[in-house]
Structure 1
């Protein structure tokens, strides 16, 4: 686990769950900063990644950890309002086990060290929390520890002008940390619906 920052993903998972709770049914078809994703797809993606990263933490490798997220548009189940908060809680609980951050695991069909998978989970929660807040007009203040880990992952994963999720959007170093992370993720911090 050399160089890995171990954090509690629970605070950020709760923030995302609270954002999702405030999504009105009429907002499910609205656009998001994620190309090709409406709010319902984004929520479906968050539900799926919550299960996948829970299983990655537990080293329970199989269908959930082997599925590439870009293989198809995510589907939002009819019981998502009850299931999503539970999935986010389970993800956070799984990463509280120190062994989750050690050894090798798999997420999104990619084998990676546990510490890297934990950083990717933090990144997913932080950036998709921003996506959801922006798409639905909500205020967003991510968990500071999760934001630091997400930014660190994105900074290391970005090569040249391309980040791990698309072309980087230039953001001044003087900008707040969330805006810099969002830019590294390939999103424009000024995006509006």
Structure 2
């Protein structure tokens, strides 16, 4: 991924590549600290707040993002991360919900960036199934009725199909909270995603120079 891609549109209609990189640079710290129960500005910032600080993809942003993703994965591999409640996005929520949201964010926005920059992204079916409670919850709220069961088939093995974005133009709506935002997920009931699977490790999009 190169700086020339920064102004390119993404499947999230309200977000450019630069916007999603800012989002990922912020959320990887927020959900790392949520796993550690290390509450502070990173976990208390509402991502929907237009005045909230946004990390910029400047300098060695690739190195920062890789490091933060590694730290996010390590934090959620700790059993204590899944116990009790935590804080993210300025709200208190069950720790398993926060873990599911973190996985959903990394998985789906990784696909967004891959699509926007013309890179391959192979969906990990186990991760997609772990994320599906978040997507089903969003689609149920939007339509007023539960969606049909998600069944494995070749055309469904992309995040676009698993998440239901193929049903909606653009996926992330302008003016709405970003997909996977904990404020939109607080009511999700879920198990530990992927049998203690940590966020990250899916897809093939790269941030090489």
TM-score normalised to structure 2 length: 0.68
Which residue matches 1:83?
A: 64
Give the equivalent residue in structure 2 for 1:97: 78
Residue 24 of structure 1, CA deviation: 1.5
In 2, the alpha carbon distance for the partners of 1:157 and 1:187 equals 12
The Cα of 1:93 is off from its aligned counterpart by 0.4
Long gaps (5+) in structure 2? 172-209
Which residue does the alignment assign to 1:176?
A: 156
Contact 1:182-1:189 within 8 A present in 2 as well: no
Instruction: Give the structure, 1 or 2, with the largest relative contact order (CA under 8 Å, sep 6 or more).
Output: 2
Q: Deviations over 1:68-108 (max 9, x none)?
A: 11223844242211100000000000000011111000111
Instruction: Report matched runs for 1:94-133 at 5 Å.
Output: 94-133=75-114
The answer to whether structure 1 residue 71 and structure 2 residue 41 are counterparts is no
Residues 1:186 and 1:38: Cα distance change in structure 2 (over 3 Å): farther
CA distance in 2, matches of 1:185, 1:142: 15
CA distance in 1, matches of 2:17, 2:136: 27
Structure 2 residue aligned with 1:47:
25
Tell me by how many angstroms 1:142 deviates: 3.0
Please tell me whether the aligned partners of residues 30 and 42 of structure 2 are also in contact (alpha carbons under 8 angstroms). Answer: yes
Closer/same/farther in 2, CA of residues 180 and 77 from structure 1, 3 Å limit: closer
Question: 1:152: how far off?
Answer: 2.3
Alpha-carbon deviation of 1:34? 1.9
Higher helix share: 1
State the 1:188 CA deviation.
Answer: 4.7
TM superposition score normalised by structure 1: 0.73
Could you say what secondary structure the match of 2:113 adopts? helix
Q: Secondary structure at the match of 1:37?
A: coil
Alignment length (residue pairs): 164
Q: CA deviation at 1:66?
A: 1.1
- Partner in structure 2 of residue 19 of structure 1: none
Do the aligned residues in 2 keep the contact of 1:32 with 1:135 (CA within 8 Å)? Answer: yes
- Using the alignment, how far apart are the partners of 1:183 and 1:110 within structure 2? 26
